[in-house]
Amino acid sequence: MQLIDGKAVAAEVRAEVARTVAARRADGRRPPALAVVLVGDDPASHVYVRNKVKACAETGIRSEEHRLASDVAEAELLALVHRLNADPEVDGILVQLPLPPQCDATRVIEAIDPAKDVDGFHPVNAGRLALGLPGFVPCTPAGCLRLLKTVHADLAGAEALVIGRSTIVGRPMAALLVAESATVTIAHSRSRDLPALVGRADIVVAAVGRPELVRGGWLKPGATVIDVGINRVTGPDGRARLVGDVCFAEAAAVAGAITPVPGGVGPMTIACLLENTLKAAA
């Protein structure tokens, strides 16, 4: 069984971004710039933003943080987005989700210039991905595909199952797999007989947010498993631990290759954000 090391692959991506940024500077061009907008006091969001800002600094990308109070009016947030759209010194804009209830996330994302939408969430970029046209791809599915390609040089004809239909992971992941000529099924909360769907798949991408939903006994022997889930659970001893959407211990005995949680998909998300920011600058 191959353990797919997301940390190692992400380190390679970050090193390549750092080399390209250094080459830009050597040519007399400014480094790429990412503006991160954080609204409110969500602890997880603060951790994510801190990690993104740190990764930018390590690769030579300039980052700027814009922190707004949790009771900010939507109009004020939209005005900030429009200012960043118009700023020629800003290449990428990331509005950290979730937003407080008074701010409509769809409206805010739609306000971002698609050419600066490094999260890949804007309808223009989502549409371009669905049509197989170049654009910004959401970072987590882009990272998942990168990890799959460390195992499979060619995905054409592979039976792929994506569990989860979110616009952030599930749907763009399916579109990426279709573009690789895989045969793709999307499963979700209303799918019938999930174990049978899993049992047919050469590739399983689990992104549903339910701890250890996918059992090892469901898997086709030798399948490749990409576990996007990151769930905090409390064990019988009262201690908290992180688990994925796949029961790792069971799956590792059956799968041909699998990502760990943590240390699998997570590091790739930030690495692909850095790549998208570099792309925006170029």
**Residues assigned a catalytic role:** 52, 96, 119
As to burial, measured by CB atoms within 10 angstroms (0-12 exposed, 13-18 middle, 19+ buried), residue 92 is buried
Q: How many CB atoms lie within 10 A of CB 45?
A: 16
For 129-138, the CB contacts below 8 A with 24+ separation are 129/172, 129/175, 129/176, 130/175, 132/179, 136/276, 136/279, 136/280, 137/172, 137/176, 137/272, 137/276, 138/168, 138/169, 138/172
Location of structure tokens 């994510």: 48
| Rounded CA separation 184/167 (Å) | 16
| Rounded CA separation 33/281 (Å) | 8
Q: According to the 3-state scheme, what is the secondary structure of 83-128?
A: HHHHCCCCCEEEECCCCCCCCCHHHHHHHCCHHHECCCCCHHHHHH
CA dihedral (9, 282, 96, 128) positive or negative = negative
- Kindly state the helix (H) or strand (E) to which residue 143 belongs, with its residue range: helix 139-148
